[in-house]
Structure 1
Amino acid sequence: MHRVVVLALEGVIPFELGIPARIFGGAQGPGGEPLYEVITCTLDGRPVGTSAGFAIVVEHDATALATADTVVIPPSAAFGEVGEPGALPPPLAAALALIRPGTRVVSICTAAYVLAAAGLLDGRVATTHWQEARHFQRTFPRVRVDPDVLFVDGGDILTSAGAAAGVDLCLHLVRRDHGSATANQVARRCVVPPWRDGGQAQYIEQPVPEPSAATVALTRAWALEHLHEPLSLRELAAHARMSVRTFTRRFRAEAGMTPGRWLTAQRVELARRLLETSDLTIDHIADRAGFGTANSLRQHLRAAIGISPIAYRRTFHAAPAPGTDPG
């Protein structure tokens, strides 16, 4: 069983601390068997205080990190102590040194400061809470900070934006490990969306639009029903009854990305769902998802998740129940 070890540091924020156990702990196989074992440790195995004014008691110390397949570090109110490269407190540096090579390491929110101070993010793209992005970039110039995304998947090292973005990242890992169907089941149990459109750019503080201002939400919903069609920017703007320029500006403000990038992401997600749950041919799935050709689908899927449609289906396909609609 895949072991997830959560490292709780002094001043840990309780909400983010609970995310790994809730998401990974809720992932189940076809027979209801748990897919992950989640344990929590502190540096010395003793209780640590939280940002909410109470302490937590754990059963493990930092030696548990040496047994992990995935290590998750939630944010702490005390991360000001790791404000520059190489500034990790010795006990924390020693704990991180216990992590085996090849172990997946995940930071939630400002825990990215810990990974950056340890040198784990040098030369990599990473993210953190948008309020700290500028300071983080100034402090760690060797890290390429993307302040707009909800999370960054660097393969063996992953970082997430603030607070609830940790949910998005953990669901992404369940999806990466076991497919969209399993991640969707976890999301439904937690009553959260299995995939949030856009990035944290949509949450950055900015002037609130007037209540009467038009929105592109209805057009996004309409586009989801017409992904099989070659939707153009002009068509989307016309549906929203806006000029192309106004539509593009408002779309980015609401969704955190351009209309074209959003459409591609939705089409990739639809293709993944069809690859997992149907026996449709690759050509048919490419058509249903709006990519037109199997070659286009292959290119977009490889760009998004790094594998071909055939390899993805081989890994995650589950035959639909008899009598169900494969689409």
Structure 2
Amino acid sequence: MAVFPAPPADITHLDVIFPQAPPFLDVPLGEAAPTPLRVDDGGGDPVDPNSSRVGEPVVLSIVNQVEQAGAAQDDDGRQVSVRLSTDVLFAVNKADLSPKARTVLKDVAAQIDRSRGEEVAVDGHTDDTGTDGVNDPLSRRRARSVQNALEKLVTRSGVAYRARGHGSHEPIASPVLGTAPAGKAPDIESDRNWPRRAEVRINELTRDAGGYVNLVWTIRNDDDIPINAWSSSYDWGGVYAEASTSGAALVDGPRRYRPLRDAKHNVGVGPYLLSVLRPEYLVAKGEEYTLWAMFKPPADVRSVTVRIPGFEPVADLPIR
């Protein structure tokens, strides 16, 4: 049982969401008084929700995201944010708009013309590579380039513009630490059923304060043969439970570090693909799929070779 602060008086129905279960939609909100709760802490009197002091309610906006080539739109009911891909807008380390950018910005300008908002905020970002001395002015120049283009494309009057650069303090994209092409097919697959025009990108290799290392990688497929992300991540011949990302490994000399797993079920610490529908982890031509796993190599291991089944190894990556 859980107790929540009362919603506004005009709310008569709620969607009730539990972890690992489909939501219950449009549940009517009753008027019955809550019953006292007995807290299972080894003793104490029952807690009366009517008289107990509760904290202020935390109300979070729900964001609706719509994607298209080169752009993604977020709408939380109060503000519309359009995120434009840097790869579409600019060349590397440049602030001049590309030819493709003109088409994308025409669509953004049309949205501004249809809206009633009075301010357009343009925020420029970079990734977190390079120095602040390079990234900060670059992000400001990019923001001004987009603002100048929108001012010419928007036909509605009464719109104010504000351009800011965030440099690498708020990176919009993480760098790719390394890439590798498709290699020998995973054990469960035959070579003829494994794509050749595919690659793996290592997105993150980071050690936290407790010594745990998080590995994030993205599979990209440009072949007509689909990639089974399950096959390319699971160790079919090991002790791990089915459908985890246990096939990934960090290699340091003769030692091969495997993903952490729980001691009871042997489930690897990472996404659990057994709970994912098969069509969702089949990576078709032109698609990408991101996976992760967690490891705990010794603190003195500073760099490793990353091995993902079905792809060539990515060597000498530093653990950040």
Q: Name the TM tier (shorter chain).
A: under 0.3
TM-score normalized with structure 2 length: 0.26
TM score, norm. by length of structure 1: 0.25
Which structure: greater helix fraction?
Answer: 1
Bigger fraction of residues in strand: 2
